[in-house]
């Protein structure tokens, strides 16, 4: 895709406002091995109807009061000036295991037919110029540089900083793994019991949404499956398998003594982490620590040479 537009005065001001926060909703997509921001036609039409005053100076008189004609004329103007270009999803069929097409596809292809470079609510349009840099972009760039520098200097960090980083990393890892296991267990139990899954944070592992949308909604119910004999037998089979695995885990669970020893071993491992993190800690400790009885039992090699 080519055709990055030159600044068009007030029209560039309009397009920048359309790309501002809380304006026309957009996502990132890959078009011909390059990343673009794109929006949907229906989101553009919705924004136009909510804020018609922003487009008033660009609406031709011949369009009258017909909103659809006005939206079409604005879209064609942006296409003609090179600010946007119509694109289409690369894959026309849902992915294996999915019943619907992605609302925001990751990969798109340009629509090369000029006659199709018109407005349609079910179409996608890619912005053909880079978004104006915001102060937050510079702030995040500086924070990333500081984070990289801090990671490089981690071996030289004080003892307390290293301990804090280790415990924080372990806590985050345990939290993420635990949340994923609980999420899967809840979905599995509800599917085996009712034939439909209850998902906590249904979009958290999705590749089709951004970071903000990944944590919303908090829960969702999956589509109900048909109550066929095969489906019921499959659910009963998985329920029996889950019950058998749970019984095996319970029957072979360690007793209180073994669990206590495992806990003590884990605590001892955590206590040894500071020594492993300290640079040259062992060498420095050996050089400054007073000799023990075991150290004093070593032979005196300097005085052990034969006299001549």
pLDDT value at residue 186? 94
Q: Does the structure show a pLDDT above 80 at 109?
A: yes
Q: What is the mean pLDDT of residues 71-89?
A: 93
d(CA 279, CA 162): 11
Question: Which pLDDT tens digit goes with each residue over 227-255?
Answer: 888 888 999 999 999 999 999 988 888 77
Kindly report the three-state secondary structure assignment for every residue of the chain.
CCCCCCCCCHHHHHHHHHCCCCCCCCEEEEECCEEEEEEEHHHHHHHHHHCHHHHHHHCCHHHCCCHHHHHHHHHHHHHHCCCEEEEEECCCCCCCCCCCCCCCCCEEEECCCHHHCCCCCCCEEEECCCCCCCHHHHHHHHHHHHHHHHHHCHHHCCHHHHHHHHHHHHHHHHHHHHHHHHHHHHHHHHHHHHCCCEEECCCCCCCCCCHHHHCCCCEEECCCCCCCHHHHHHHHHHHHHHHHHHHHHHHCCCCHHHHHHHHHHHHHHHHHHHHHHCCCHHHHHHHHCCCCHHHHCCCCCCCCCCCC
Q: How far is CA 71 from CA 5, 7, 42, 64, 133, in A?
A: 20, 22, 10, 12, 27
Q: What is the mean pLDDT of residues 68-92?
A: 92
Q: Which is higher by pLDDT, 275 or 86?
A: 86
pLDDT value at residue 62? 57
Q: What is the mean pLDDT of residues 170-197?
A: 92
Q: How confident is the model at residue 263 (pLDDT cuts 50, 70, 90)?
A: confident
pLDDT value at residue 294? 44
Residue 242 CB partners (closer than 8 Å, separation 6+): 188, 192
Q: Does the structure show a pLDDT above 80 at 258?
A: no
Q: Does the structure show a pLDDT above 60 at 35?
A: yes
pLDDT value at residue 64? 62
Closest Cα partner for 81 from 5, 18, 2, 13? 5
Q: What is the mean pLDDT of residues 13-34?
A: 90
Quick count: other Cβ atoms within 10 Å of Cβ 192?
Answer: 19
> Within a 13 Å sphere around the CA of 110, how many CA atoms are in the beta-carbon half?
18
Q: Give the dihedral of Cα atoms 67, 71, 73, 77; nearest 10 deg.
A: 160
User: What mean pLDDT, rounded, does the chain reach?
Assistant: 82
Q: What is the pTM of this model?
A: 0.57
Cβ distance 191 to 235 under 8 Å? yes
Question: Which pLDDT tens digit goes with each residue over 143-183?
Answer: 999 999 988 988 888 888 888 888 899 899 999 999 999 99
């Amino acid at each position: 895709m080519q055709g990055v537009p030159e600044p068009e005065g007030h029209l560039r001001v309009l397009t920048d406002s359309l790309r501002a926060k809380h304006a026309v909703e957009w996502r990132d997509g890959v078009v011909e091995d390059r990343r673009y921001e794109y929006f949907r036609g229906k989101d553009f039409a919705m924004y136009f109807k909510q804020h018609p005053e922003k487009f008033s100076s660009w609406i031709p008189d011949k369009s009258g009061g017909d909103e659809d004609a006005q939206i079409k004329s604005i879209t064609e103007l942006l296409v003609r000036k090179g600010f946007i270009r119509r694109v289409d999803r690369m894959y026309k069929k849902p992915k294996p295991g999915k019943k619907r097409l992605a609302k925001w596809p990751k990969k798109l292809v340009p629509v090369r037919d000029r006659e199709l470079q018109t407005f349609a609510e079910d179409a996608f349009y890619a912005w053909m110029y880079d978004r104006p840099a915001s102060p937050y972009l510079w702030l995040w760039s500086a924070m990333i540089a500081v984070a990289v520098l801090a990671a490089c200097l981690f071996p030289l960090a004080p003892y307390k900083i290293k301990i804090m980083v280790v415990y924080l990393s372990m806590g985050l890892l345990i939290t993420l793994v635990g949340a994923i296991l609980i999420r899967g267990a809840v979905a599995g139990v509800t599917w085996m019991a009712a034939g439909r899954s209850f998902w906590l944070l249904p979009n958290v592992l999705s590749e089709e949404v951004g970071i903000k949308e990944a944590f919303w909604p908090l829960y969702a119910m999956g589509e109900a499956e048909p109550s066929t004999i095969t489906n019921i037998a499959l659910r009963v089979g998985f329920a029996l398998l889950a019950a058998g695995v749970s019984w095996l885990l319970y029957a072979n669970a360690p007793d209180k003594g073994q669990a206590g020893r495992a806990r003590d071993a884990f605590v001892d491992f955590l206590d040894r982490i500071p020594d492993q993190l300290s640079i040259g800690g062992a060498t420095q400790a050996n050089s400054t620590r007073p000799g023990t009885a075991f150290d004093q039992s070593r032979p005196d090699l300097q005085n052990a040479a034969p006299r001549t």
